[in-house]
Structure 1
Amino acid sequence: MSTVSPPANPEADPRVKAVFDDIRATRGNDFINNVWRYLAFDPQLLEEMWRDVKGVMATPTLLDPKTKEFIYAAVSIANNCEYCVHSHLAAARAKGASEAEIAELIRIVSTAGRTNHILNAIRPPVDAAFLAQEPPHG
């Protein structure tokens, strides 16, 4: 159940319309998904979130788009964000992810979560060899 109500006519606000138009242009289609419609209850928050998401997910970087979607989905699984899990797995599929790759991603996330819990419980010291590979600070 939503904690806020989306505006009845979000694009009546020029700030919202500008963001929605940019989403459409960036994605190359007319679909505005619910996350953006609901964020339109606060145009400033909508602008900030779209700027940040676009900057990371829709801007070319060193990581390929499918890998970015996998990372976003993995974090969403770990943070229990049902909406983001569905959204980013759908985006990964659209970027060429196979069901076998998604199954592998889920196995990795599951294994990492389990080992994280165990290691948080037993708290072994970090190996010096791992620390030695860190870049210098400063």
Structure 2
Amino acid sequence: MSATVTPVAYEDASDEVRAVYDDIMSSRNIDFVPNVWRTLASHPPTLARVWYGLEEIMAPGALDARTKEMIAVAVSATNGCEYCIRSHTRQARGHGMTEEMYGELMAVIGMFNQTNKLIEGYQVEVDDFLKEI
């Protein structure tokens, strides 16, 4: 697969984009800019919005980092985004997700994708008691 735009190399980036790139590399403790960010840099406002939004959402909070990354894996798997599946699986493993946890996560994802599609297909009416939450 190749991008539909030309990814922006660090040396070709504007000062605005380089500032985001530097933050990405510093935050991730890496010495390169991953393809996703180089591609999003083709539209600098999108690059900044997505990166800084991601930093804010994935920051420590009521949910721990592993849980947040596992949710990201679930959404990515449901949406079929290979890049995101691989990226967030790597991050979740870095936060302590075991192979057993990963297997259970995939089972939950598969089950709920199946039941959601069945419920959508049958157009199941929501019970009144569920409308109270």
Decide: shared fold, TM above 0.5: yes
Identity of aligned residues (%): 39
Provide the residue aligned with 2:101 in structure 1.
101
Provide the residue aligned with 1:16 in structure 2.
17
Provide the residue aligned with 1:76 in structure 2.
76
CA deviation after TM superposition for structure 1 residue 4, in Å: 1.3
CA deviation after TM superposition for structure 1 residue 11, in Å: 5.7
Q: Could you state the TM-score of these two structures normalised by the residue count of structure 1? A: 0.87
Residue-by-residue CA offset, 1:39-73 (whole Å, 9 max, x unaligned) = 1222221111111111111x221110011011111
SS at structure 2 position matched to 1:68? helix
Provide the residue aligned with 1:39 in structure 2.
40
Between the aligned partners of 2:88 and 2:54, the Cα distance in structure 1 is 12
CA deviation after TM superposition for structure 1 residue 10, in Å: 4.8
Is the CA contact (8 Å cut-off) linking 2:10 and 2:21 kept in structure 1?
A: no
Between the aligned partners of 1:60 and 1:130, the Cα distance in structure 2 is 30
Q: After superposition, where does 1:52-91 map in structure 2 within 5 Å?
A: 52-57=53-58, 59-91=59-91
Between the aligned partners of 2:116 and 2:13, the Cα distance in structure 1 is 47
How many aligned residue pairs are there? Answer: 132
Is the CA contact (8 Å cut-off) linking 1:10 and 1:37 kept in structure 2?
A: no
Q: Which amino acid aligns with 1:66?
A: R
SS at structure 2 position matched to 1:51? helix
**Structure 2: runs of 5+ lacking an equivalent:** none
Q: Which amino acid aligns with 2:53?
A: D
SS at structure 1 position matched to 2:117? helix
Change (3 A) 1:117 1:10: farther
CA deviation after TM superposition for structure 1 residue 31, in Å: 4.2
Change (3 A) 1:26 1:8: closer
Q: Which amino acid aligns with 1:93?
A: R
Change (3 A) 1:112 1:50: same
Q: Which amino acid aligns with 2:55?
A: K
Change (3 A) 1:10 1:116: farther
Is the CA contact (8 Å cut-off) linking 1:66 and 1:92 kept in structure 2?
A: yes
Between the aligned partners of 2:95 and 2:113, the Cα distance in structure 1 is 26
